[in-house]
Structure 1
Amino acid sequence: MIPAVRRALTNAIGIVVALGVFALIWDVTLKVMDVNPYVGKTPVDVWHYLFGSGSVLGETSSANRDRLLSLLWVTLGHASLGFVIGVTLSMLVAVVFTLVKPVEFMFMPLAMLMRTVPLMATAPVIYLVFGGGKVTAALIVTVVVFFPVLVNVTLGFNSVSPQALDVIHVNGGNAWTVMRKVAIPTALPHILASLRISVPAAITGAMLYEWLFTYVGLGAGIVSATTQSNFTEVWAIVAVITVAAVALYAIAAIAEAAILSWAGISTQDRPA
């Protein structure tokens, strides 16, 4: 079997197993904690809400599914916009840090500090400055993505071996030559790993923006369903966004493994 196909099948099986374990833990936790069935809905309740033949609160499962999928596309749109901006900016800043070491020395501690600031503290400030809309959504997701990617990619750029640097310098290469010929290939596992772990983080940032500031997307859907005491929809939204995040993470992992294989880098050497 082709390695890429085998890897894809392995990831698909892993997704199914992970979601099965998640559903089992979900069901057992509700029973152990003795949560009121009116509030705590089981995976079976959610399945019936999305795929059952009857109706819940006068709406069919098809209507429920269509509504949540439309909200999901909005959330993924917000997450994608911030993800692209955050990754692009972090890559550019990481290149500057690597080429101009004094800049890294001055600003990397600040980046590390900003990485520890809770998003709940920065999101309201962003909203107050920029108001609602896609700009605020993109900025909140960008903040989530930017600092982890910046730190990891900069670490990758700085992991170039001294021997490789000596070869470049002996042959008359400059810092930009080092970046193109050595640093970027060396940092490729760090770059791809950063992209992989940023996918669910971007979705989390988008959900937070929608939950706090808008009336659209799955984040706002949770607020709306809660105010209407439609707790089955709340749990269904959690299930939908969890499945979407796991699936996108798996797709990113498959793409990462394929790229590393094409580049001749062992997947065992990639960052976690």
Structure 2
Amino acid sequence: MAYALRRIGVTVLTIAASLVIFGLLWQLALTLMHVNSYVGKTPLDVWDYLFVDNPMTPDQTAADNRAHLFGLLWVTLGHAALGFVFGVGASVVVAIVFALARPIEFMFMPIAMLLRTVPLLAMAPVIYLVFGNGAVTAAFIGGVVVFFPLLVNLALGFRSVGAQAVDLVRVYGGSSWTVMRKVAIPTALPHFFASMRIAVPGAITGAMLYEWLFTFQGLGAGIVTAKSQSDYPQLWTIVVFITVVSIVLYTIATIVEAAVLAKWGPDAGRR
């Protein structure tokens, strides 16, 4: 428990310091590059867009801006959740099948890696043509981002099981599935959560790509609309907004990882 709390505290402090440094570098970059203030918005401009009413636009208050962005965010999070659940579920099932039947892994892992090299921007129109515009397409596009890193890391985690632990389960009459439940899954948990930290923001990226290409919903479509209307304060705010949300979700994934590994991971009880 102490290990989990210590890791959570370190993670939160690290991310808070990173946000401060990022804001300073953002401001410094705009200043050194002499970016036109009409196009390049500073952290203060983003703050004003979200929390300060502009007397030049009395019909568009900061509260309206926040409500608009949060409305877009919930749509994007819904699409990201579809891709995340689909990608994680599919990768876990496939990785377990690969671990239980190694010949299948040798046959299909190279194909999976070959598909991974195809740019998602090229795959998305094909997915759209096959499944149309809807939840299935959102799940597939987001799932592709999540699936491959998780599959590779889980397969690696299952292969890293110690031979002595496997022999011990076998001596007591355990089957391959018993080895998977009792040994392989706890051993693979660090690999699983390492990929989950990447998968969480990756699912959001996939969701925004889906929205940008095929819908007029969510933050992905909001970026397109803001750009077409030269609404640069909104454009920069959306980028910051989704970055902060991704960091928050990344932090939550890290907190869950620390708690789970402290209780069920391969080093549980040793710290």
Q: For this structure pair, what is the TM-score category when the shorter chain's length is used for normalisation? A: over 0.9
Percent of paired sites with the same residue: 60
Matched, 1:216 2:192: no
Contact 2:83 2:142 in 1 (8 A): yes
Matched, 1:166 2:176: no
Contact 1:81 1:138 in 2 (8 A): yes
- Inter-partner Cα distance in structure 1 for 2:207 and 2:225: 16
Please state whether the residue corresponding to 1:41 is helix, strand or coil.
Answer: coil
* CA-based RMSD: 1.9
Distance 1:55 1:222, change over 3 A: farther
Give the structure 2 partner of residue 45 of structure 1: 45
Structure 1 stretches of 4+ moved >4 Å: 1-6, 55-58, 264-267
How far 1:143 moved relative to its partner? Answer: 0.7
1:7-156 alignment runs, 5 A limit: 7-55=7-55, 57=57, 58-156=59-157
How far 1:265 moved relative to its partner? Answer: 4.4
Please state whether the residue corresponding to 2:246 is helix, strand or coil.
Answer: helix
List runs of 5+ in structure 1 lacking aligned partners: 268-272
Distance 1:157 1:55, change over 3 A: farther
- Inter-partner Cα distance in structure 1 for 2:104 and 2:222: 43
Paired letter, 1:31: T
Contact 1:85 1:138 in 2 (8 A): yes
- Inter-partner Cα distance in structure 2 for 1:195 and 1:226: 32
Contact 1:49 1:236 in 2 (8 A): yes
- Inter-partner Cα distance in structure 1 for 2:129 and 2:21: 41
Contact 2:46 2:236 in 1 (8 A): yes
Please state whether the residue corresponding to 1:59 is helix, strand or coil.
Answer: coil
Distance 1:247 1:174, change over 3 A: same
- Inter-partner Cα distance in structure 2 for 1:142 and 1:190: 18
Please state whether the residue corresponding to 1:117 is helix, strand or coil.
Answer: coil
Contact 2:83 2:203 in 1 (8 A): yes
Contact 1:49 1:55 in 2 (8 A): no
Deviations 1:81-133 (A, max 9, x none): 11011101110011110111110000011112222221111111111211212
Task: After superposing the two structures, state which structure 1 stretch, 116-125 or 223-232, moved more.
Answer: 116-125
How far 1:13 moved relative to its partner? Answer: 2.3
Distance 1:266 1:45, change over 3 A: farther
What TM-score does the superposition give when structure 1 sets the normalisation length? 0.93
- Inter-partner Cα distance in structure 2 for 1:62 and 1:138: 32
- Inter-partner Cα distance in structure 1 for 2:8 and 2:161: 31
Please state whether the residue corresponding to 2:35 is helix, strand or coil.
Answer: coil
Distance 1:169 1:2, change over 3 A: closer
Task: After superposing the two structures, state which structure 1 stretch, 245-254 or 176-185, moved more.
Answer: 176-185
Give the structure 2 partner of residue 207 of structure 1: 208
Please state whether the residue corresponding to 1:36 is helix, strand or coil.
Answer: coil
Please state whether the residue corresponding to 1:102 is helix, strand or coil.
Answer: helix
- Inter-partner Cα distance in structure 2 for 1:176 and 1:108: 21
Distance 1:134 1:177, change over 3 A: same
Task: After superposing the two structures, state which structure 1 stretch, 235-244 or 47-56, moved more.
Answer: 47-56
How far 1:162 moved relative to its partner? Answer: 1.3
- Inter-partner Cα distance in structure 2 for 1:169 and 1:134: 44
Distance 1:95 1:264, change over 3 A: closer
Contact 1:114 1:147 in 2 (8 A): no
Distance 1:264 1:139, change over 3 A: closer
What TM-score does the superposition give when structure 2 sets the normalisation length? 0.93
Number of aligned residue pairs: give it.
268
Contact 1:26 1:43 in 2 (8 A): yes
